[in-house]
Every structure is written in structure tokens, then in C-alpha cells.
Amino acid sequence: SLIMKGSINTIGVLVPNVSESFFGTFVEGVQQVARQEKLIPLIFSANREPKLEQEYLEQMVERSIDGLIIASARMTTEMINQALSNRDIPYILFDRNYDQQGARVLTDDYHGGQLAAQHLLALGHTKMLFLGVKNITENFKQRMAGFQETINAQEINFDEDHNLLKADLSKDGGYQMARPVIESGATAVFTANDEVAIGLMRGLREQGVRVPEDISVIGYDDIILDEYVYPQLTTIHQPIFKLGVGATEILLNKINHPDAEPEQVEHFPVKLIARQSTGKCQ
């Protein structure tokens, strides 16, 4: 076992929202390692409320956990250290939070954006949108940058003033944006994540817009729902379960070797999964 004998084998996992299947699948990955290593994972979902996140962190410290995985965009390392009362509890940041040097898991969000653009360009689209989010974090910025630069390289105009809309990061957020998306005249939309894409597709359908005949939609993540919505969602796959496994292994390594140099950041690949929500520009 990786963990030292005699320690209390508990790790805390703080996610923004467990009802999102992205974080559910991530936690399953964490649990797989936890079971093998006989650790108890404490899962906290903070509903994106910074105050609650802070409270949970403090509670975890009081329960003397051995390490932490924090998937929260709002907390800076300074806030985290404060919540940990500067105790030396190893933690790693995940996903939206880039505010950390050293060991962590990352996926190539920039490349994900490139893949989305290449796919839509190959289908003949020239009027494309990025349906981004209001509270933009580094991972979403990277997705947008990869998308934009790939399109601009084809000498097709794409800029923040004309090709960017912002939604709340949820199904309802996407749903609410159906009208602005239609009014933009775009024939293809790349969304910040799959939840937004799924909401958008419902909104488009209610407005009588066909996907993909009138507007193509491509999401991000490859959550399990994608195969069950109509039309099945084209997306950029992140290896979500493996990210949970990888993050937990890195954390255990930190717990067991506190003085080791931070190792290489582990990069996980992304790939295009072409399903039915994208089609030729008509």
C-alpha cells in the first residue's frame, strides 16, 4: 500500500457540484484508488458557494485528513492555506484552478479547442460561436484560444466581439442561450462543456431549429449522458475517470513523500468523439 502504516487514512475531495456527471465520474476514479489503498474519501459538494467551500475545508482540517483534492475555481492557494490554518496538509488542485505549481493532473484544453475547430471547419462551417461562461477560468480560456486560433489560421474571422457568447455553466445556462445563438446567425456552436450543450439543444429544438441541419453543436467532456440525448452529442473527450485515478495517485505520493521534489505534471490526452449533433454546413 502506498500509505504509511498508522496514519488515519482519510482524504477530502471538494467538488463544485456532485450533480454534474463530470464530477460524479471523477469521484468514481478517486474511489477506485481509495478502495485499493484502503482510504476513506470524504466528498464535499459546495454548490459553487465560496463560503461553504471554506467551511468544508476547515471542517476537513479539524477531522485531521491526510490530504485533499480541491476542484474549486474560486479558491486561491492563499485562501486554501489560510483555511488549512497553514497546517502542512498535502493537497492538489484539479481542473479549473491553475493556481498551483508542481504535481497535478492536467488535460490539454487548448488542443481540445483546436480539435473542435478542425472538426467544424472540415464540415464547411465558417460562422461559428463559442458559447463560453460568465466566470471564465483558465481551462475555458484555453479551450476558446485553441478554437479561435485554429479558425483564424484559416483566415476566417472569429473574435470575442462577434463570436463569443456567455452562459451560466449549466444545462439551464445553455437552454437560456438558444435565442441569442439563433440570432447570431452562426451555423455551428462549440460550448464550454456538455451540460451547456445539452441545455442549448433543448432550447434550439423548442425554437424549431434542427440540430445539426440548421445548427451544429459540439460540447466538451464526454459525459455519459451524451450518448442518450437526441441527437447524440459530438464532443471532446476528457478521460474523466482516469483524471480521478491520477489525481488520487499524485496526492498519495505527496502524502507518502512530503519532501520529494514535485514531479512532472501529468498530462492527459483529449480526443474528438464525432456523434450526431454536428453535420455539414448547409
- Between 3 and 32, how does the x/- string for binding to ligand RIB read (CB under 6 A)? -----------------x-x----------
Binding track, positions 188-207, relative to ligand RIB; x by CB under 6 A: -----x-x------------
Gap between the Cα atoms of 106 and 247, Å rounded: 9
**Residue 175 lies near ligand RIB (rule: CB under 6 A):** no
- The reply to whether 108 sits near ligand RIB by the rule CB under 6 A is no
- Grid cell listed for 105: 493532473
Looking at the Cβ atoms of 66 and 226, the one nearer to ligand RIB is 226
**Residue whose CB is less far from ligand RIB, 66 or 195:** 195
Nearer to ligand RIB, 23 or 91 (CB): 23
Provide the minimum distance between the beta carbon of 240 and ligand RIB in the complex, in angstroms, as a whole number: 8
- For residues 123 and 281, is the Cβ–Cβ distance under 8 A? yes
Q: Which of 65, 10, 67 shows the shortest CA–CA distance to 37?
A: 10
Asked if 142 is part of the footprint of ligand RIB (rule: CB under 6 A), the reply reads no
Distance CA 203, CA 209 (A): 9
Taking CB under 6 A as the rule, does residue 94 contact ligand RIB? no
Q: How many CB atoms lie within 10 A of CB 3?
A: 17
Out of 95, 108, 222, 249, point to the residue binding ligand RIB (CB under 6 A): 95
> Distance between CA 125 and CA 148 in Å, rounded?
13
The packing angle between helices 21-36 and 240-256, to 10°, is: 40
Cell readout for 180 is: 441569442
d(CA 147, CA 133): 15
Q: Which is nearer to ligand RIB, 9 or 142 (CB)?
A: 142
Binding site for ligand RIB (CB under 6 A): 20, 22, 95-96, 139, 193, 195, 220-221
